[in-house]
Structure 1
Amino acid sequence: MGLDPPASVGAVSDAVLVTHELVTNALRHGGGLASFSVAVEPGMVRVWVSDHSTALPVARLRTEPGEGGYGWSMVCALTHTCGVTVSSRGKTIAVGMPLR
């Protein structure tokens, strides 16, 4: 069963990039991946990534060349909705991205 109309290539690329960033950050900075969910709705894809850390994501201002530090800013820029819920067991980041 396909999407009607189909998702744009750019939208799918953005969704893959955001998902990769969230999962990678959960593994690197969040004490490991606790859960992952995705739902495709008409015109929208939603992703939930949970980790074991209660620390909120931080947008860093890079002052020196080097790797890293841009992930959270990129996630916020590429998503239509972006939220963080913190509990005693960690946090869940929920994002929504248009598919067109």
Structure 2
Amino acid sequence: MTFAARAWSRRTPPGLLEHPGGYALADDVELLLSELCTNAVQHGDGLDTVHLHCTPATVRAAVSDRNPALPTVRNAPAASHDLHLDYGRGLLLVAAIAATWGVDQHHNHGKTVRFELPIHRPPTVTR
């Protein structure tokens, strides 16, 4: 299931979210969804469901797994040798990129980790 979940999360959003303009919405959704699917498989006792919902203003994604334990966001690596680790930054990326994100705990039946991204990225202010 690990490779299938990752493959689906990387293959599906770009086809669903092709959007004119310079904002790489599909890339952001693909990255965050891939991170949440990987976390569900590695730490959540298996991927249960994936929901992707688009409105005219937002894209919402939710990944459910079977483990009720809440995930933790790790701090950015403090030492330069930690920068080369290829794990441990998934939720840090979600928190940095998503407009909003959160976790819904289902007591003994697992949890759902969700995020939301705007369809149109707000303009960047430069000084």
Q: TM tier, shorter chain?
A: 0.7 to 0.9
CA distance in 2, matches of 1:26, 1:11: 22
CA distance 1:8–1:96, shift in 2 (3 Å) = farther
The runs of 5 or more residues in structure 2 that have no matched partner are 1-15, 121-127
CA distance in 1, matches of 2:20, 2:62: 22
- Displacement, 1:7? 6.2
Which residue matches 1:59? 73
Which residue matches 1:73? Answer: 92
Find the residue that maps to 1:56 and give its secondary structure: coil
- Bigger share in helix: 2
Choose which of 23, 29, 35 in structure 2 pairs with 1:15.
29
CA–CA separation in structure 2 for the residues paired with 1:55 and 1:8: 38
Q: Aligned runs of 1:19-98 on 2, under 5 Å?
A: 19-61=33-75, 62-63=77-78, 64-65=81-82, 66-87=85-106, 88-98=108-118
User: Which residue type is aligned with residue 42 of structure 2?
Assistant: R
Query: What amino acid is the match of 1:69?
Result: G
Q: CA RMSD in A?
A: 2.1
Query: Comparing both chains, which one has the higher relative contact order based on Cα–Cα distances under 8 Å and sequence gaps of 6 or more?
Result: 1
TM-score with structure 2 setting the length: 0.69
Find the aligned partners of 2:58 and 2:109 in 1 and give their Cα distance. Answer: 28
Q: Unmatched 5+ residue regions in structure 1? A: none
> How many residues in Structure 1 have an aligned counterpart in Structure 2?
98
Q: Larger radius of gyration, structure 1 or 2?
A: 2
TM-score, normalised with respect to structure 1: 0.85
Higher strand share goes to which structure?
1
Alpha-carbon distance in 2 for matches of 1:22, 1:7 = 26
